[in-house]
Amino acid sequence: MIFREVLRPPIWVLAFIYFLFLSIVLSVWAALDNRATLVTFVISILALIWIAFSMTSEITFDGKVLKIDKANIEVNYLGKATVLDKTAMRLLRTRDADPAAYLAIKFWEPSGLRIELNDSRDRTPYWLVTSKRGEEIAALLNR
């Protein structure tokens, strides 16, 4: 493995979700008995754990294949990888977005990269990927 990056949700996102679930638990406690509250609390904790794992994103590159979560593409079909700062990333994921582009973005990370595709059989023009280490992956993909 040449490159591997795991993007996990920050603690503030998980805390926000936890407090939303906690408000539901308090509502159940106010309306029903303690047993229903305990069941709701356990379900909300399990849901929070599942959400934390499902919001995790992994980028791997082994020199031949780029994998981002479940999507993967061979290096032969990759074009230029461009590192995007906060402003460029914001514009490309909103106003300047191409509806056919593959988006592997996380709202809590402002930077990333745009990876052009060179596959005549695929209508996807580029991949927009959130990454904290965009310079590293772009350097690997552009050589």
The pLDDT of residue 139 is 92
Banded pLDDT at 63 (limits 50, 70, 90):
confident
Domain membership flag for residue 93: yes
Based on the fold, state whether residues 137 and 77 are members of the same structural domain.
Answer: yes
- Shared-domain flag, residues 25 and 84: no
Bridge partners (DSSP) of residue 58 are 6
Range of the domain at 47: 3-54
Is residue 65 assigned to a domain? no
Q: How far apart are CA 26 and CA 23, in angstroms?
A: 5
pLDDT at res. 61: 94
Q: Looking at the 3D structure of the chain, how many domains does it have?
A: 2
> Which structure tokens are listed for 71?
């999507």
Residue 59 lies in a domain: no
136/87 same-domain check = yes
CA angle 80/72/4 to nearest 5° reads 80
Mean pLDDT of the chain: 93
Mean pLDDT of 54-59: 95
Residues in the chain: 143
- Would strands 102-104 and 126-130 be described as parallel, antiparallel, or unpaired? parallel
pLDDT exceeds cutoff 90 at 22: yes
pLDDT (tens digit per residue) in 76-86: 999 999 999 99
Reported as a single tens digit per residue, the pLDDT across 111-122 is: 999 999 998 888
Please report where in the chains the tokens 């379900």 appear, as a residue. 43
Q: Residue 1 above 80 pLDDT?
A: no
- Taking phi over 0 as left and psi of -120 to 50 as alpha, with beta for the rest, 22 belongs to alpha
Q: What is the mean pLDDT of residues 2-31?
A: 96
pLDDT recorded at residue 41: 97
134, 81: one domain: yes
For the segment 21-34, the average pLDDT, to the nearest whole number, is: 95
